[in-house]
Amino acid sequence: MKGKILASIVAMSAILGTSSLACTTILVGDKASNDGSMLVARSADSKAIKAQVFLIHPATKNQTGMHSSKAHDGANDFTYPLPKDGMRYTTIANSHTKLHGAVGYNEAGVGLSGSETIYAKDELLKVDPYNEESGITEDDIPDVLLPRMKSAKEGVKLLGEIVETKGAGEGFGVVFV
């Protein structure tokens, strides 16, 4: 009996004492919180020493051109037209590169968390494969959606249209608030 208890303690210490490299999102709806607040929390899958930075992206007017994942050291060749008039928005990005914001809010008060990697089963990817060459990836989601979306519903619709027309470059989970 003592052996099983000791083995359990050692196993739990090993599991809980290590740093897990997995993005995690926690959502608490307004009916589940004590005061009616909606809460969104997330952790990043990077080392504690890898600092993050809060960035403010100014509003844009009469903008032309394309958002290019490759131009921003992204995962592939995803491109998407820049919004003519983009809203001011914030992101939390890698402090060294100032790129690939994981979360953010825009001036309309709409936010998202868009960098939770999800892995699909191989048999499902045979039916509906990723477009790894030029589909949207989690690195691009905040910079493409936040300057445009005026509501969470609009963000869901836009991301769905992008995935339907250009494909998803990888599996990801996105939270809109």
> Could you read off the pLDDT of 94-118 as tens digits, one per residue?
777 777 788 999 999 999 998 778 8
**Residue 20 reports pLDDT greater than 80:** no
Asked if 107 contacts 87 with a C-beta cutoff of 8 angstroms, the reply is yes
Q: Which of 11, 23, 26, 154 is catalytic?
A: 23
Residue 124, number of CB atoms within 10 A of its CB: 10
C-alpha to C-alpha distance for 108 and 152, rounded to whole angstroms = 10
- Which of the listed ranges 29-33, 44-48, 77-81 does the model predict with the highest average pLDDT? 77-81
pLDDT by residue (tens digit) across 44-68?
776 666 778 899 999 999 999 999 9
pTM of the model: 0.81
Is 146 an active-site residue? no
